[in-house]
Structures are given as structure tokens and as C-alpha cells.
């Protein structure tokens, strides 16, 4: 927790006391996957992923297609954040889900979406979030087409063979407003 986070009204939360419904919070309200540092960072919207328990740890699962610019930052860093927003920020999430930081100057994507970087626990989220999960990478692997029991999903979701990279990450801190 930084002084800035206290000023913004963030508090460290007990993960077991959280009342999060992942189907609603990820699937409907969406989240931002953000990674980087004070020098440079990037963010993208995600509506797929999960929250659960693996290897005796509280984890988040995120899936990122290889062409996302955010993937480079997630791959370079030990940690990333998943952040969640009040409903009036949905336009910002739509923007971050339809524009790539690859085509912009440093920091321009977040700024254009009206988001202010917030540096937390060696990674990045945004001041406008109402919940931030700090996630430390544990495992990653590409989605393998050979693994599909329902092969119709391959034609439906991967006509370009751009199989997601799946990341399982330990949730090391939760901050809520």
C-alpha cells in the first residue's frame, strides 16, 4: 500500500472476506489485465479468466492471445494486476479492449481511456479501479488444440490459430475501495 493508495481510499482486503462473483465481475463487468513498471506499461480488457485455488494457493487465471501488446509486459514482469471498475468506467474498458498500445506512444492508451497509472507492489493498475488483484505468475502454457474435448471451440474461437497463452498466478494482495 502506498500513500497515494490510502489517499484514493484503497484498503488491503482479506481475500476470504471478498464477495466476488467471477461470472459477473469478469464475464459481465470485465477487467483490465495490466503489467509493466514506472518506465512503461500496458493494459487490455479481458472478459475471460477465473479465480480459484491451485497448488494450495489463491489464484487468478488470465488468457492472453499472442498478438496482444500487453502480453509482452506480462511476459517481462514477475507480476501483473487484474483490476475491476465501477460501471461508469465501462467506456474505458471498451476502449482498452478495442485499441492496441502497440500503435501508440508510451502511456497514451491508458490516458486516452481516462485511466491514471497507480504503481502497486512492483506492478501497475489504475487509480480509477475499485478493486485490484496483484498477481504473481506461477505457470503459463499455450492453449493446446490437441486438448479440446469439444473441437467445435477451435473453429469458433481460433480461426486464425491464435491460441491464448494461459497464465495461472498467485493473488498476493487484494486492494478495495
Ligand X SMILES: Cc1cc2nc3c(=O)[nH]c(=O)nc-3n(C[C@H](O)[C@H](O)[C@H](O)COP(=O)(O)O)c2cc1C
Position 41 contacts ligand X (CB under 6 A) = no
Position 82 contacts ligand X (CB under 6 A) = no
Position 172 contacts ligand X (CB under 6 A) = no
Position 64 contacts ligand X (CB under 6 A) = yes
| Phi-psi sector, 66: left (phi>0), alpha (psi -120 to 50), beta | alpha
Task: Tell me how far, at minimum, the Cβ of 46 lies from ligand X, in Å.
Answer: 3
- Identify whether the C-beta of residue 35 lies closer than 8 Å to the C-beta of residue 79: yes
Position 90 contacts ligand X (CB under 6 A) = no
Instruction: Compute the distance between CA of residue 94 and CA of residue 129 in angstroms, rounded to an integer.
Output: 15
Cβ nearer to ligand X, comparing 13 with 22: 22
Instruction: Compute the distance between CA of residue 175 and CA of residue 148 in angstroms, rounded to an integer.
Output: 36
Task: Look up residue 57 and give its three cell numbers.
Answer: 494457493
Contact pick of 5, 10, 30, 110 for ligand X (by CB under 6 A): 30
Per rule CB under 6 A, count of chain residues that contact ligand X? 21
Instruction: Compute the distance between CA of residue 110 and CA of residue 116 in angstroms, rounded to an integer.
Output: 7
Position 45 contacts ligand X (CB under 6 A) = yes
* Residue 138 CA from chain centroid, whole number: 15
Find the helix or strand (DSSP H, E) in which 173 lies: strand 165-176
Cβ nearer to ligand X, comparing 101 with 117: 101
Residues binding ligand X (CB under 6 A):
30, 42, 44-48, 63-65, 68-70, 97-102, 109, 164
Amino acid at each position: 500500500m502506498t500513500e497515494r493508495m490510502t489517499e484514493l481510499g484503497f484498503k488491503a482486503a482479506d481475500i476470504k472476506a471478498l464477495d466476488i462473483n467471477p461470472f459477473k465481475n469478469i464475464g459481465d463487468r470485465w477487467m483490465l489485465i495490466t503489467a509493466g513498471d514506472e518506465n512503461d506499461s500496458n493494459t487490455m480488457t479481458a472478459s475471460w479468466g477465473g479465480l480459484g485455488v491451485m497448488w494450495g494457493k489463491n489464484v487468478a487465471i488470465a488468457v492472453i492471445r499472442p498478438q496482444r501488446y500487453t502480453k509482452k509486459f506480462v511476459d517481462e514482469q514477475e507480476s501483473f494486476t487484474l483490476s475491476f471498475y465501477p460501471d461508469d468506467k465501462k467506456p474505458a474498458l471498451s476502449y482498452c479492449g478495442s485499441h492496441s498500445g502497440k500503435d501508440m506512444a508510451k502511456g497514451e492508451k491508458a490516458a486516452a481511456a481516462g485511466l491514471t497509472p497507480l504503481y502497486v507492489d512492483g506492478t501497475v493498475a489504475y487509480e480509477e479501479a475499485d478493486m485490484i488483484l496483484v498477481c504473481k505468475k506461477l505457470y503459463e502454457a499455450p492453449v493446446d488444440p490437441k486438448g479440446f474435448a469439444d473441437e467445435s471451440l477451435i473453429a469458433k474461437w481460433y480461426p486464425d490459430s491464435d491460441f491464448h497463452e494461459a497464465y495461472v498466478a498467485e493473488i498476493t494482495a487484494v486492494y478495495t475501495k
